[in-house]
Amino acid sequence: MTSSSAVFSALAPYGWDETWATEFAPYAAEGLLAGRVVRVDRGQCDVVTAGGTLRADTAFVTPHDPLRIVCTGDWVAVEPGGNPRYVRAYLPRRTAFVRSTSSKRSEGQILAANVDHAVVAVSLAVELDLGRIERFLSLAWESGAQPVVVLTKADLVPDPVTLGHLVQDVETTAPGVPVLTVSALAGDGLDVLVALVGSGTSVLLGQSGAGKSTLANALLGADVMEVQAARDVDGKGRHTTTTRNLLPLPAGGVLIDTPGLRGVGLFDAETGVGQVFSEIEELARRCRFGDCAHESEPGCAVRSALKAGELPVRRLESYRKLVRENQWIVAKTDARLRSELRKDWKRKGAQGKAAMEAKRGRWE
């Protein structure tokens, strides 16, 4: 049996610590091996252990709940032998990055577990989509990880004034989030990012064509990830990364690279949305009514800030959109909430109809 000191020596670069060791103790007493999942595909996974990387089957711990399947970043208990070899359990997750699937059943899809930093890669080769950045950040905050926005391909914006304006736009969109500019090809800005992800586990997120694979290679110091050119017309690329891979970084920490995400649906991310739009949440606390919808109610601090030019219209519209989307996702699995939302929508529809009829009366 591998000694505890050997386990620490082998797994510490992957994030193993005293807390994980304590939680794993019951499984160690059963003779199971500790390891971290570095890749999952087709019901099997690669697990790095003190004795090397093992291939194991996840069928033993695959329940009907898709959020409880083994995923990249999990710490697991693996059988020491057997053909096939099975993962017997995974340790309680400290954080979990989850998005909704396109399924009508409102299922969540877990992308990565036990993540400390969520690195959202955004390409400067195309026009910034601030709404998409807000969506990524909502999921990142909800996961429990600290988000950071990395504006890639900064070499394509040589004018420092223009670059400064772009950074400012993103900073306004991402309160409390570091915003870095990086050129992976030129090496500019990488030192700051390397220092930030040098401890703990970081997950790299973004659309296809955002420069994630190039950025991952720069952080890894080697051409590990395949890179393809993005289309000039929209900056999008093909999925060069097709699985989620956990890789140790030469300067410390580990990186989980993910496939490009075309769809980023919220999944019960109320707290995350509130964090992204913290200034609107703060204004809402000053509204006259606690259930203010920020539409036509008197004494609405949000609408007052809007009229005063202190709150951008785009920002409020994006907030409303994500709140509605999140409510709908939650309502799909909550009959009581679904009924309340339908009543609320009918009430607002009736109010709108009455307002239109009143206007027609004035016109006539």
CA–CA gap between residue 13 and residue 246 (Å, rounded): 12
Give the DSSP per-residue string, 54-103. EEEE-GGG--S-GGGS--TT-EEEE-SS-SS-BEEEEPPPS-EEEEE-S-
**Any idea what DSSP says for residue 312?**
-
At residue 161, does pLDDT exceed 80?
yes
CA–CA gap between residue 244 and residue 109 (Å, rounded): 13
Q: What would the mean pLDDT of 188-197 be, rounded to a whole number? A: 92
**Sheet containing 245-248: which strands, arranged edge to edge?**
179-181, 146-152, 117-123, 201-205, 254-257, 245-248
Residues in Cβ contact with 212 at an 8 Å cutoff, skipping those fewer than 6 apart: 121, 152, 204, 205, 206, 225, 241, 257, 258, 260
Count Cβ atoms within 10 A of the Cβ of residue 259 and give its class: 0-12 exposed, 13-18 middle, 19 or more buried.
middle
CA–CA gap between residue 235 and residue 265 (Å, rounded): 21
Q: What is the pLDDT of residues 282-340, one digit of tens each?
A: 999 999 998 888 888 899 999 999 999 999 999 999 999 888 888 777 766 655 544 55
Chain mean pLDDT for the chain:
83
Q: What is the pLDDT of residues 166-175, one digit of tens each?
A: 999 999 999 9
pLDDT of residue 342: 53
Residue 78 has phi, psi (to 5 degrees) of: -115, 145
Q: Please name the residue that has the structure tokens 């989620």.
A: 244
Based on its alpha-carbon atoms, the radius of gyration of the chain, rounded to whole angstroms, reads 23
pLDDT of residue 351: 54
CA 288 to chain centre: 34
Q: For residue 246, give Cα distances in angstroms to 71, 258, 307, 310.
A: 11, 9, 48, 42
Residues in Cβ contact with 318 at an 8 Å cutoff, skipping those fewer than 6 apart: 130, 131, 134, 277
DSSP H stretches of helix in 262-312: 270-276, 278-284, 301-307
CA–CA gap between residue 164 and residue 127 (Å, rounded): 15
pTM of the model: 0.80
pLDDT of residue 168: 95
CA–CA gap between residue 46 and residue 49 (Å, rounded): 10
Identify the H or E element spanning 229: none
